[in-house]
Amino acid sequence: MTPADLKTKLDELLRLPAETEWVEFKEAKWNFDFDDLGKYFVALDKVQKRKPLTSDELKHLRRLRLVEGRAPNVFVASKIAAITGDKAQYIRNRAFDTHHYKQMILDFIHEFGSATRKDVDDLLKGKLSDLLTSEQQTVRIKNLLAEMARKDGTIRNLGSRTKPDWKVAK
């Protein structure tokens, strides 16, 4: 059934005057306070507009699984993005996991032999979360490179600190 068919069927069932042997009306178990609902809507509006949330607003939205991310870079959860039609923006906000970015760097180095810091910046700056500022993206890239060189041992800098030349570690 399509969503339109389901909606038509639900409307038809809701118009029944009484219960039948196959339709039983139930009382809603979630009794929301309308004031609380209003607060949630206002808080979600703040998230969409990238305005700061109070700690209580953030706590309540997290409890209901309506938001994701770390403060102050909070964004609506996938179920809200699906309802509002912002699925692509959800993916851009969520971005990818660390492994994905590291693999992109390694693929670049394998393809071209080495990578300067500018190469890595050009590669990743458009791919990192839209919620990060330019400065935060720069720090994120610096941390990725440091982790790959020091912790993972997958790359090494054959250049200098000011002019790095990243190559795959052998």
Place of tokens 């039609």: 85
Class of the domain covering 98-168 = mainly alpha
Q: Which two tokens stand for residue 75?
A: 């964004």
pLDDT at residue 75, rounded to an integer: 86
pLDDT, tens digit, for every residue of 142-155?
A: 999 999 999 999 99
pLDDT at residue 111, rounded to an integer: 96
Give me the mean pLDDT over the 61-87 stretch. 86
Buried b (16+ CB within 10 A) or exposed e, 100-128: ebbebbbebbeeeebbebebbbebbeeeb
Domains of the chain by residue range: 33-94, 98-168
Dist. CA 141–CA 133, nearest whole Å = 12
pLDDT, tens digit, for every residue of 6-43?
A: 777 777 777 777 766 656 665 555 666 777 778 888 88
Dist. CA 97–CA 95, nearest whole Å = 7
Task: Determine if the pTM surpasses 0.95.
Answer: no
